Amino acid sequence: MSVGIAREIMDVLESVSRPLRDNGSFLLTDERGLIIAERLVADVPTNAFAAMASLMAHTAKRVLSSLGGSGNTTVTVVSDDFEIHSRGFLVRNKMFQLSVVVHRPRGRFAYLRHRSLRRGNVERLLGKAADEIQWKLHAHIGEDSALENIAHTQH
C-alpha cells in the first residue's frame, strides 16, 4: 500500500471518529501485519456499543466513498454486544478489510473480525488491554479476483 493511500485512509478514519473520541487507536497494517500508521483517538464510552457500531459502519462507508471504492457493510447489534459484518472491498486494485476489536472493562469482550482474519491475529488482538478499541485495516494486493483470493486464504 502506498503511503499516500495510507494517509488518506487514516485521515478519513480520524475525521469520522470525532463524535466519539477517547481511549482508542486506529492501526493501519499491511498484508504482513506490519503497522504502517497509527493514530490515537480519544474516549469512547463503554456503554455506547450501539452508537459505536453505527459509527464504525459509517466510517467504513466513508473510507470506501472517499477512495472511490465500492463495497457493502452491514451492522448487527446483539443485546449489549455488537458485531459488524464487513465484506471485502476493492480500492485501486487493493483489497481492504476493516476489523474492530472492543474490550470490555470487566474482562468480557465483543469483537469484530473479517472472515479472512487468521485465528492467531484474533487471539493476539484479544490479549490487548481492557476497553481498548482497535481498528485494523488490512491491505491485500489484488486484482478483480481479490475477493475470491481472500476467501480461499482464510483458513
pLDDT tens-digit profile, the chain (155 residues)? 445 555 555 555 554 444 333 334 444 444 444 444 444 333 333 333 344 444 554 555 554 455 444 444 333 333 233 333 333 333 444 444 444 433 333 333 333 333 333 334 433 433 332 223 333 333 332 222 333 333 333 33
Cell readout for 90 is 476493492
User: Model pTM?
Assistant: 0.26
Q: In a 3-state reduction of DSSP, which class is residue 5?
A: helix
Q: Calculate the CA 100 to chain-centre distance.
A: 5
Predicted confidence at residue 4, as pLDDT, reads: 55
Q: How many CB atoms are located within 10 Å of the residue 2 CB?
A: 11
The whole-angstrom separation of Cα 91 and Cα 122 is 24
